[in-house]
Amino acid sequence: MREHKQNCSCSFCRAKRGEVIHKWTFEQRLAQSERMKGDKNPMRRIPGLAQRVAQKIRERGSLAGDNNPSRREAVRRKKSESLKKWWQENRNSVTVLLRNKKLSEIMKGRPRPKEACMKVSRTYHNKSEEEKRRLAEEHSKKMKALYQTERGFRLRKQHSERLRGENGPNWKGGSSRLPYSFDFSPALKRKIFERDNFSCQICGTNRDLVVHHINYNKQDCSNSNLITLCRRHNSKANFDRSKWEFLFTVLMEMKSEKNY
């Protein structure tokens, strides 16, 4: 191995002396990685170098189990704080975005291993109730803040699209709107309200308006079968239906003749 002199200018010795080392940009690191690939790597050029490095690591002793510094609480806390700080400063950098995109492509379509799910579950359930409540409140605050951003709106829209229709966990074969048709939408109701000047076609009021099916067939959503009524007259129309159906049919014929 190379001997380091007193005034050595390598990055290791400079860092040891407390000197500021130039931080490479993402493009520089990428170019350096390309230059060191394959047989260009000095670990491959020098015969036996990789074996000597591995032997030196083995001589230091195993870092598995309790010998691993990451098992110590102070080290774990320090690493966690350092990673959080780095993430807050670099979460929108090119490096992180490319890494996230690469991980997303790798994990797409691959379910999480059962062992990993069980580990996460045990970690959560072993916490105290107070700690669970604190974590839930923190998560709620983060989600509320995220939903106020453009990215949060995009994520909600994507999630809604994925769970629409048959992909939804509560899908029951399209029976959620029964006995009404799926064509009986808010857009159609507004169209009928505009046609009838936002007023009940019996008493003329513009309060508590609903759209009524003239022939009482809620699957028939043609414009000629829909009429605007107030809630009071809509309730009355449920009795003596043949009389009301005849009256509404005459009103619609008169309206169509007037428009022509």
Segment 129-155, tens digit of pLDDT: 888 888 889 888 888 888 888 888 888
Long-range residue pairs from 225-231, CB within 8 A, at least 24 positions apart, any chain: 226/188, 226/192, 227/192, 227/196, 227/201, 227/251, 227/252, 228/192, 228/193, 228/195, 228/196, 228/198, 228/199, 228/200, 228/201, 229/200, 229/201, 229/202, 230/200, 230/202, 230/203, 230/205
User: What pTM did the predictor assign?
Assistant: 0.37
More confident position, 126 or 92: 126
Residue 82 has pLDDT above 80, yes or no: yes
The b-or-e profile of 185-222 (16+ CB within 10 A means b, else e) is eeeebeebbeebeebbbbeeeeeebbbbbbeeeeeebe
> DSSP code of 233?
H
Using left for φ > 0, alpha for ψ between -120 and 50, and beta otherwise, residue 198 falls in left
Half-sphere exposure of 106 (CA within 13 A, CB side): 7
Distance CA 45, CA 38 (A): 10
> DSSP code of 196?
T
Report the pLDDT value the prediction gives residue 193, as an integer from 0 to 100. Answer: 92
Residue 229 has pLDDT above 90, yes or no: yes
Report the pLDDT value the prediction gives residue 211, as an integer from 0 to 100. Answer: 92
Residues of the chain with pLDDT > 90: what percent? 9
Report the pLDDT value the prediction gives residue 33, as an integer from 0 to 100. Answer: 81
